Amino acid sequence: MERGEFTYHEIISQPSSWAAALEVLKSQRSAIVSVWRKGYTQVLFTGCGSTYYLALAAAALLQELTGIPARGLPASELWLYPHVYYPRNGRVLLIAVSRSGETTETLRTCQAFKEGRYGELLTLSCYPDMPLAKMGDLNLVLPSGQEQSVAQTRAFSTLYLACAGLASFWSGLGVEVFNGLPEAGEKIIEAANSTVKALGEDSSLDRFYFLGSGPRYGLACEISLKMKEMSLSHSEPFHVPEFRHGPISMVTPGSLVVGLLSEANRAVETAVLEDVRTLGGRTLTIGEGSADLNFNSGLQEAFRNVLYLPVGQMLAFARSLAKGLNPDCPNNLDTVVKLK
């Protein structure tokens, strides 16, 4: 078997996995809408590792679209410090996300949430027979996200897309906001291939920074995690303008700063990347319209965010192979973290 065979297949098959996820959303629409009718003072998304970063991205998107306060938190925080995070009054919607559906911290958080009667629990996972998929008031299962690799790629983007689907339903929209997304995914995977391969194989690069603001910050965190897990490289995520407030000191000719550009704040964000180039650092910009890698999707910003993911995953994958590693099996990491 080739190094990275599973991960490669999981990365390039994402668009069809997204199409399958959209079908699940369509079929569950009325159940999803009725969960929201109960009314919440606070929505909390939770998960561990990749799915924690997903929680950050999904919470930002949900609040942007619905106006209801939403936060993303690691499951361990909610499990160990519930009083720091649950409001004293009002009803909470907890949305627990897990590829495996069996990560201990996530399960313990959900159990304690139910026992504490804080509100409703919605779960999203990829395996119907795992414990998480039986715990919620509503359980959404996205089998197309299932994976053989340890590091999440297809699972992350598919579960994230499902969360974006919740946000679209709960803001009164339908799945048609995602029309053309799988096709746009195929296009960006094809268009980004040679650029990310060349950067991934460039041994003069020794540090990577991923910048994303608003609903893109959690995605920048996830891409940075891919770089660590798959390629054992120094990598950090930041909100875009935050990069100037200290991290910019680290810029050298061996730095690659990747900008997940927005539409509304494009000028502010590209100025940060210009500063990096002035200091001799390298940059790569991704977004709709003028960017090194242009999605050219025609989709609304809130519903095309998932397109940043394959580009970052492919960069990490190329770097991993170039370093002689196996992207399918990151060092010291298991597919699921189970505590005794």
Residue numbers at the binding site for ligand F1P (CB under 6 A): 47-51, 98-100, 103, 106, 150-152, 333, 335-337
Place of tokens 């804080």: 118
Find, among 145, 128, 205, 169, the residue nearest to 18 by Cα: 145
Find, among 24, 29, 260, 64, the residue nearest to 159 by Cα: 24
CA atoms of 45 and 72, how far apart (whole Å): 5
Largest Cα–Cα separation, the chain = 55
Q: In the complex with ligand F1P, which residue's Cβ is closer, 99 or 319?
A: 99
Q: In the complex with ligand F1P, which residue's Cβ is closer, 173 or 336?
A: 336
Q: In the complex with ligand F1P, which residue's Cβ is closer, 141 or 257?
A: 141
Kindly state the tokens that stand for 298.
Answer: 């025609």
Q: In the complex with ligand F1P, which residue's Cβ is closer, 48 or 293?
A: 48
CB 194 → ligand F1P: shortest distance, Å?
27
CB 144 → ligand F1P: shortest distance, Å?
15
CB 151 → ligand F1P: shortest distance, Å?
5
Find, among 279, 280, 213, the residue nearest to 242 by Cα: 213
CB 195 → ligand F1P: shortest distance, Å?
25
Q: In the complex with ligand F1P, which residue's Cβ is closer, 110 or 318?
A: 110
CB 157 within 8 A of CB 18: yes
Terminal CA-CA length for the chain = 33
CB 141 → ligand F1P: shortest distance, Å?
13
Q: In the complex with ligand F1P, which residue's Cβ is closer, 148 or 252?
A: 148
- Map residue 277 onto helix, strand or coil: helix
Q: In the complex with ligand F1P, which residue's Cβ is closer, 217 or 243?
A: 217
Q: In the complex with ligand F1P, which residue's Cβ is closer, 42 or 103?
A: 103
CA atoms of 211 and 217, how far apart (whole Å): 7
Phi first, then psi: give them for residue 89, nearest 5 degrees: -125, 160
CB 121 → ligand F1P: shortest distance, Å?
15
Q: In the complex with ligand F1P, which residue's Cβ is closer, 47 or 200?
A: 47
CB 186 → ligand F1P: shortest distance, Å?
24
Distances (CA, A) of 199 to 7, 16, 176, 336: 18, 26, 35, 30
CB 119 → ligand F1P: shortest distance, Å?
21
- Map residue 97 onto helix, strand or coil: strand
The residue sitting closest to ligand F1P, measured at its beta carbon, is 49
Find, among 211, 73, 222, the residue nearest to 158 by Cα: 222
- Map residue 141 onto helix, strand or coil: strand
Side chain identity at residue 158, one-letter code: T
CB 286 → ligand F1P: shortest distance, Å?
22
- What is the helix (H) or strand (E) element at residue 193, kind and residue range? helix 181-200
CA atoms of 334 and 99, how far apart (whole Å): 13
